[in-house]
Structure 1
Amino acid sequence: MSQPALLIRPSTEADLPAIQAIYGRAVLEGTGTFETDVPGADEMARRRTEVLSRNLPWLVATRGDELLGYAYANYFRPRLAYRFCVEDSIYLTPSAQGQGVGRLLLAELMARCEAADPLALRRRGEVDG
């Protein structure tokens, strides 16, 4: 029997428990978050709301009922000189690592950032090479 197809879609509030679990593991076992304490559910919801309020994407990758990972873009720094810079963040479950899920999340994240601001990726040279 084949697996359900991988779906990349905008996140919803219902995804927050899985998002928090994935991020919590990254905080406790990884080095990329630069955090030492796992943020609570309210803090993760606040972060997601902040990203979405800036018209930036917060995506999830699912296969069937399983959330495999998430990705979002947020402004790199609050100073005016950085107004054209966004930073991507991608977090995956262990089972999704090495399966191409992160690559697909990044591709969709970049496409949605470009759709929101067509010049943004060109400024970085990502679209035109």
Structure 2
Amino acid sequence: MNIRLAKASDAPALLAIYGPYVTDTAITFEYDIPTVEDFTQRIISTLEDYPYLVAENDEGEILGYTYAHAYKERVAYDWSVEVTIYLAEKTKGQGIGKKLYQALEEELKKQNILILTACITGGNIPSIQFHEKLGYRQVGVFKQIGYKFDQWHDVYWLQKRLVPPTVPMKKMIPYREINN
């Protein structure tokens, strides 16, 4: 398995992984599958400030992906990100998610990121357990905040500290400056 930076040309393969999550689950609250063009733009814009990684097998087939994005759009939150991961259904339970997150964390440390957050739909016990095994701890629950498939869903927030805070803080480095 190889982990590398996502490219705009990966959008169709990533969208093929993401699509069933949209149409068949409440894991994402999107109602409609994005277009390839929209998904391509998401990859490009994410890579400006944060890492976006894919895992592929030896034949180049993409097995899953992970990325980070701003937790909130205020300067005081520059050291905190929300992380996201999606795996192809056939690859779950093979350790790919763990390897993707470990690689993502290494990239985020280069940016001086301290705090990782994960937003998980209530009822998604496998994802909660996966994150807890990687050191995340539940810090909050928003009750009945998302509506999909004619049902209200809770959202659980989990958090992980990558490194202890320092004072003064080192400036967050946009990923485009690291990746060049």
Give the structure-2-normalised TM-score: 0.62
Q: Runs of 4 or more off by more than 4 Å in structure 1?
A: none
Alignment partner, residue 39 of structure 1 = 34
- Mapped partners of 2:90, 2:161: distance in 1: 32
For residue 25 of structure 2, the aligned residue among 25, 30, 35 is 30
What RMSD in Å do the two structures reach over aligned CA positions? Answer: 1.8
- Mapped partners of 1:82, 1:127: distance in 2: 15
Deviation at 1:122, TM superposition (A): 6.8
Against the structure 1 CA distance between its residues 13 and 125, is the aligned structure 2 distance closer, same or farther, given a 3 Å change threshold?
closer
Alignment partner, residue 53 of structure 2 = 59
Structure 1 gap ranges (5+): 1-5
- Mapped partners of 2:83, 2:115: distance in 1: 16
Against the structure 1 CA distance between its residues 27 and 122, is the aligned structure 2 distance closer, same or farther, given a 3 Å change threshold?
closer
- Mapped partners of 2:27, 2:73: distance in 1: 20
Amino acid at match of 1:76: Y
Give matches, 1:38-117, under 5 Å: 38-54=33-49, 56-63=50-57, 64-117=59-112
Deviation at 1:41, TM superposition (A): 0.8
Alignment partner, residue 178 of structure 2 = none
Amino acid at match of 2:161: G
% identical equivalent positions: 36
Give the structure-1-normalised TM-score: 0.84
Partner SS for 2:114: helix
Alignment partner, residue 162 of structure 2 = 126
Number of matched pairs: 120
Return the structure number with greater strand share. Answer: 2
Partner SS for 1:102: helix
- Mapped partners of 1:102, 1:84: distance in 2: 23
Structure 2 gap ranges (5+): 117-159, 165-180
Return the structure number with greater helix share. Answer: 1
Partner SS for 1:99: coil
Alignment partner, residue 3 of structure 1 = none
Amino acid at match of 2:56: T
